[in-house]
Structure 1
């Protein structure tokens, strides 16, 4: 019986392997390469701006009108630089010429671009 015959019967236990993952390769790369890889990973996480059809835009418009009339808090979902951001606030004023909505939350007042809005939910 050879050495390899005995090895075939044993199972390989990978729990004892202590691999450093990608850390071991970073030491062999130039800083420029590491920077490029980090930027690439960040860009891969970003999502394209959702395409809204007429039905979605009409729903958003209705929700804005209801929230403005009732003066209730709403949750805006906004697309900013490849990410969806949620804001909870009340609508103060709408400026259609500048295409912005002036809102305020418990901390401060700010403006939102109408083109960045992805969806709206009325909170009651």
Structure 2
């Protein structure tokens, strides 16, 4: 008579290598694969936050204070369903182009004022 408990105890499952999703891809049509990739992109998108007048005032105060003190600021921007994070010191603000030049230790870049959804001083 076979003792199954002894058989299971001798079985080493750590050496079993599963092929993961590869085994299912061969049964899928290219249209299905494309639809799944598009779906993964769409579910990662974040809706645009609705900011009111008080939120805009708080962002403006943080930006002004960071520029006066010449300290680093963390800015969160929303673009095309994605939240982008930037941190650095504000060099200048151009109200005609509606941009901010932010300088971090590696480079400097321009941010659009209309994309900013949050600003926090880093002290």
Range of TM-score over shorter length: 0.7 to 0.9
TM-score by length of 1: 0.78
2:28 is paired with a residue of what secondary structure?
coil
Mapped partners of 1:21, 1:50: distance in 2: 37
Instruction: Confirm whether residue 93 of structure 1 aligns to residue 59 of structure 2.
Output: no
Instruction: Confirm whether residue 122 of structure 1 aligns to residue 118 of structure 2.
Output: no
In the alignment, what sits opposite 1:58?
A: 57
| 1:1-124 matched pairs, under 5 angstroms | 23-124=22-123
Mapped partners of 1:117, 1:49: distance in 2: 11
CA displacement at 1:27 relative to structure 2: 2.0
Task: List runs of 5+ in structure 2 lacking aligned partners.
Answer: 1-12
Task: List runs of 5+ in structure 1 lacking aligned partners.
Answer: 1-15
Count of aligned positions:
108
Task: Indicate the RMSD between aligned Cα atoms, in angstroms.
Answer: 1.9
CA displacement at 1:81 relative to structure 2: 2.2
